[in-house]
Amino acid sequence: MSYYDTIDFENTDFRKEPHKYKVGRGEQGVLMIEPYKGEILPNWRFKTPDIAQESSDAIYQQFCEYKKQDDFVGMDMARKFLQMGYTRARRYANYPGGKKYNKDGELNERDIDETKAKSAEIFEEKWILVREDEEYLEKKKAHQKKYG
């Protein structure tokens, strides 16, 4: 049984119950963890570089606010949204419409969209800032040691 089978995500407030939060790999669980999903998702956009800049700046500010509040789960969720901004923009940069595979399950050919590639770069800059933040790394290690 996996962690995702043991948690009632719809009825869990991870701000009130941070011990139930598992860091996971990459963006895992990003759209399941409330109230953070509801707080961060409205800021998450990457259609153009200007929109990506505004979005990544807003999410980075949320990261900083969570950090001030000593809220590791919020910090990690902001990190996940920044990472997801990078990976999704990269997907759309590489494949028209973000479709990596065709209807037959075969890999579509890459057709680089420079606008989306720039959006990905913008998110990547903030994602690197967050994932290398020393306080974040300390809190991550402590959370994992305490809660698994």
Whole-prediction pTM: 0.92
Please state the domain extents for the chain: 37-99+110-148
CB-CB contact of 82 with 128 (8 Å): no
pLDDT tens string 61-79: 999 999 999 999 999 999 9
Residue 23: burial class (beta carbons within 10 Å; 0-12, 13-18, 19+):
middle
Residue 105: burial class (beta carbons within 10 Å; 0-12, 13-18, 19+):
exposed
Distance of CA 91 to the CA centre of its chain: 15
pLDDT tens string 1-58: 777 678 899 999 999 999 999 998 889 889 999 999 999 999 999 999 999 999 999 9
CB-CB contact of 9 with 34 (8 Å): yes
